Amino acid sequence: MSDAPRKRLPLRFLTLAEIVGVVAVVVAVLGYWDSHRERTQEAREKALAARERQVEARANTLKQAFLMTGAPEGSGDRIRLSSLRDEQVIQTQTIWFPKDIRAASVETTGNPRLEVSWIEDGLRKARTKEGRVPVGVLTVFIEDGQTKTDRAVYQVGYSLHARTLRKAKVELDGLSLARRGVTGDLQAAADNLWTAR
């Protein structure tokens, strides 16, 4: 065995041009990474802003929505109507019942209500002891100093109570929303729900 000296590879230093090239590649990679990170951050911010706009739009829609509640008064002779929100003040209402119950519409001004006397004869003819009758309601109300309208169909709960030697007593029980934002004829909408029951 001979111990021949091994040849060493010649040690070579990088030239200035090669160093500049390596630095340029590193700078380019860092620039690409930074711009990618910025685009990702911008995309996240845009998505978050879009979600916030949707939530705000939903909140505004709910804020602008009109919803009535109805509380029976007396012995079921009347339902006092009021807006769910105090800042919405009801001015006038036009109310349509199914034609089988009442052919003519009823208009109220400044005293929103449903009265049993408007529909008791029609409900007695319907001969159901209890149920719901749809009513189309066009409401004009004031909100934030502006006059607005709402077109909706509500269901009025009622019950008939038989009496000896007299006509059955009709009592109004309450009110619930059936459809909001109704376009077209509210009389027809009430009729359609009545016949579909």
Residues 166, 74 share a domain: yes
Residues 111, 20 share a domain: no
**pLDDT, tens digit (0-9, with 9 covering 90-100), for 109-153:** 989 999 999 999 998 888 777 789 999 999 999 988 899 999 999
Domain range for 142: 66-196
**pLDDT, tens digit (0-9, with 9 covering 90-100), for 151-177:** 999 999 999 888 888 888 899 999 999
Residues 84, 170 share a domain: yes
DSSP assignments along 99-134, one per residue: TTT-SS-EEEES--EEEGGGTHHHHHHHT-SEEEEE
Counted domains in the chain: 2
Cβ-Cβ contacts under 8 Å for 108 (sequence gap 6 or more): 92, 93, 95
Contact (Cβ atoms closer than 8 angstroms) between residue 128 and residue 160: yes
Residues 81, 51 share a domain: no
**pLDDT, tens digit (0-9, with 9 covering 90-100), for 51-104:** 998 888 777 766 667 899 999 998 889 999 999 888 899 999 999 999 999 999
Residues 141, 84 share a domain: yes
Residues 103, 24 share a domain: no
Residues 103, 51 share a domain: no
